[in-house]
Amino acid sequence: MTRQRLVPLPIVVTDESEAPRGADLYYRCRACQGSISSQPADSVGCACGNVSIEVDYHRLVVRDFGRFEVVRRAPEVATTDTWTQLPPNALDVEVVHKNFGDGPDVTIAIRRDGDGFVLQTSAETRTSGPNVTTSERTSTVDEARSKLVEECEGWDRDMDAPLDLSALRPYEGEPPN
């Protein structure tokens, strides 16, 4: 399971001409929480009418810029039903956690490292303290997110895969001649 995330751009828009457009950019109305594409095929507006685009005139209309933000559609992240999002501390961009029952307790964080990002994975069992590993550095947070997805999927595969006991079954018949 994955879900789509809309991440606000760190910009303040006070005039329609300042709003960037792009295939992955959306305009979100903070009054009704509706989002519309910044490059819609047809004229479109949010439910309450605060944000709208008239395609024929290539015109964006915003009534209240205090309730307007530009958001980017971020890559889908596998931090879903089975992984829990934790509130990140100052160093972390994103933190997810999963407890594998009798298996390890795993926390994976995207952490800022200089001008890049690393993935820090901490796995702890009842009998051992945390075993922390750190990935190679990525330059963008998107790369770090896709590594996070791989890491979550890897843990799910390893921990949820049923044991193949057939390989362990002792030989019961007569030894071959």
Q: Are 116 and 139 a contacting pair, CB within 8 Å?
A: yes
Q: How far is the CB of 45 from Zn ion (least distance, A)?
A: 8
Q: State which residue has the least CB distance to Zn ion.
A: 29
Burial class (CB in 10 A: 0-12, 13-18, 19+), 87: exposed
- Token pair listed for 26: 């959306």
Q: Which residue has the tokens 């002792």?
A: 170
CA-to-CA dists, residue 108 to 2, 53, 90, 141, angstroms: 17, 40, 15, 14
- Nearer residue to Zn ion within complex by CB, 46 or 106: 46
Query: Which CB atom, from 34 or from 104, has the smaller least distance to Zn ion?
Result: 34
| Shortest CB 61 distance to Zn ion, Å | 12
Considering the complex, state which of residue 50 and residue 120 has its C-beta at the smaller distance from Zn ion. Answer: 50
Q: Which residues here bind Zn ion, judged by CB under 5 A?
A: 29, 31-32, 34, 46, 48, 50
State which residue, 27 or 155, has the beta carbon closest to Zn ion: 27
Closest distance of CB 44 from Zn ion, Å: 12
Joined tokens for residue 17: 């001409």
Residue 72 dihedral angles phi and psi, to the nearest 5°: -110, 135
Residue 46 C-beta: closest distance to Zn ion, Å: 3
The enclosing H or E element of 3 equals strand 3-8
Residue with tokens 């047809």: 42
Q: In the bound complex, what is the minimum distance in angstroms from residue 49's beta carbon to Zn ion?
A: 6
Enumerate the β-bridge partners of residue 111: 92, 118
Closest CB to Zn ion among residues 50, 79: 50
